[in-house]
Amino acid sequence: MSATSLNRAAIDLLFKVLEARGTQIAGATLTEYFPRAAETLLASGLLAARGQVPVVAAMDAHEDEPIPAVWSPERKAFGYLNSVGRWMEIEENAISAYQVDHARMFAAMLMPFERQGTAKIAPLIPDHLWDIGAIRIAGAKTPVPVWFGRRLGDLHVWSQVGVLVGRRPATDRRIILTSTRGDRLPAAPDRRHALVAVEDVLETPDRLAISPRVLAARVYPEQVQRRYPIDHSDDFGTVWLRDETFEFRGDKHRKLLEQLFGAYWAGTPVLRVTLALAEAGFSDKTNSLSKAFSGRDDWQKFIRQSEGNCWIEV
């Protein structure tokens, strides 16, 4: 299996592991909660065993506290004694500790790009930020340096990134890719930095490879050829209305905008609000555009609603 040919569930699990507070996940957790996605990631090599976590939850009715698993030379297996003294055997992979193979993941994400120099990975903030080299990208005269960070929505981690950026400012442009969801990201440090959620710029939702065209539009939005008076980026994360730019980082927002623009360009712009919201993945409690776009009202500059309908109007 190619490292980039996965499925949506496997990619979602990969990002969940990356965004977890720790850097390891127990085999028992993978087996119990994400069996199929974990199997795909393990087969791809993106998730690999790195040591063991010999602690389990007892599997009888009287104990639910974590207890240590021990090796039995006689049985040649790991296990523990339950509350009545019975030996309970544990599969070894259940206490294995798994980690993301960062080098393999970076290679998969940047496979569509021409990489400058050696693909050497340099840790910048232990376990949270890496310098993963430079890539050639449309719109740039020279290769653009790329960093990758995890948990950038964490204030402590982000403050460390800010300090590092101050010490190592970008000379032209720098891309900071991240496993953090787009709607949880802070603002980029300055105009020279493009802060991009990887899941927002993949070529397809089931392939761990970044689209050069979509990434270029994120890094150099001023170079994108646009329709007038309104247009949008390929991922619907950016909307241009005359001389204004609107950014939408949430996956559900982009899916909603995809529906609205699809109807707009097709010449049949009117959609039912509740149906459009449900199709975008919003819960039943989110039954209006005001709730969907809670905290902002700029969308009203190009989206209209009336009597349960919504449409784009400029």
- pLDDT tens, position by position, 14-37: 999 999 888 888 777 787 788 899
Give residue-wise pLDDT tens across range 165-180.
Answer: 999 999 989 999 999 9
Q: What is the dihedral of CA 181, 185, 189, 191, to 10 degrees?
A: 70
> Which long-range contacts does 119-125 make (Cβ < 8 Å, 24+ apart)?
124/164, 125/149, 125/157, 125/160, 125/161, 125/164
Going by C-alpha positions, the residue among 198, 197, 238, 199 that lies closest to residue 217 is 238
| Residue 76 reports pLDDT greater than 80 | no
| Cα–Cα distances in angstroms (integers) from residue 88 to residues 52, 64, 66, 74, 75, in the given order | 18, 14, 14, 14, 11
Q: Which two tokens stand for residue 233?
A: 């980026």
Distance between CA 114 and CA 4 in Å, rounded? 16
For 51-69, the pLDDT digits (tens) are: 765 555 544 444 445 556 6
pLDDT at 62: 40
Find where tokens 């653009």 sit: 144
Instruction: Check residue 147 and give its pLDDT.
Output: 97
Q: Which pLDDT belongs to residue 258?
A: 96
> What is the pLDDT confidence band of residue 286, given thresholds at 50, 70 and 90?
very high
CA 28 distance to own-chain centroid: 23
Q: Which two tokens stand for residue 124?
A: 């910048």
Full-model pTM: 0.71
pLDDT-derived band at 94, boundaries 50, 70, 90: low
Instruction: Identify the weakest region by mean pLDDT among 57-71, 130-144, 181-195, 283-297.
Output: 57-71
- Contact assessment for residue 250 and residue 235, using Cβ atoms and an 8 Å cutoff: no
Query: Kind of pairing, strands 87-90 and 96-100?
Result: unpaired
Q: Residue 26's pLDDT is what?
A: 77
The mean pLDDT of 234-253, rounded to a whole number, is 88
As a whole-number percent, the residues of the chain with pLDDT over 90 amount to 56
Q: What is the largest CA-CA distance in the chain?
A: 77
